Chain A
Amino acid sequence: MLNRKKVIPFRSGLEAERWRFYDCLEGRTNPIEKWYRSLSEDGQYTFDALLKVHCKANSPTEWNSSKMLQGECKPHGIWEWVFVDTGHRRQERMLGIFGDKRKKAILLIGCYHKQKRYTPSDCLKTAIKKAKEVRNGTAELQERQIPENF
Chain B
Amino acid sequence: MELLNFKNDRYQKISKLLNSQKSRAAYIQAKLSVLVPAQIRALRIKSRNPVMPFQRDLARESETQQSRISMFETPGMANMTLETLSKVAGGLRCGVIVKFVPFSEMLRWENSFSPEHFDVFPRLDHDYGFLNPSAASIEDANVIESAQKQEDWQLDRLPPKQLGMMDGMSQDDEKLFSTAAVVGG
Which A residues between 128 and 150 are near B, CB-CB below 8 angstroms? 145, 147-150
Interface-central residue, B27, B45, B73, B185, by most chain A CB under 10 Å: B27
The interface size of chain A toward B, counting residues with CB under 8 Å, comes to: 36
Interface residues on B, range: 35 or more
Mark contacts of A16-51 with chain B using CB atoms, 8 A cut-off: 1 yes-contact digit, 0 otherwise.
000000000000000000000000111011101110
Q: How many A-B residue pairs have CB under 8 A?
A: 111
Question: For the complex, what is the distance from the CA of A150 to the CA of B42, rounded to whole Å?
Answer: 23
Chain A, Cβ-Cβ closest to B30? A45
Report chain B residues within 8 Å CB of A149.
10, 107
Question: For the complex, what is the distance from the CA of A40 to the CA of B16, rounded to whole Å?
Answer: 14
A65 touches B37 (CB 8 A): yes
Report chain B residues within 8 Å CB of A52.
34, 110-111
Report chain A residues within 8 Å CB of B22.
41
Whether a CB of chain B sits under 8 angstroms from the CB of A58 is yes
Measured CB to CB, the residues of A under 8 A from B are 1-4, 13-14, 40-42, 44-46, 48-50, 52-53, 56-59, 62, 64-65, 82-87, 91, 145, 147-150
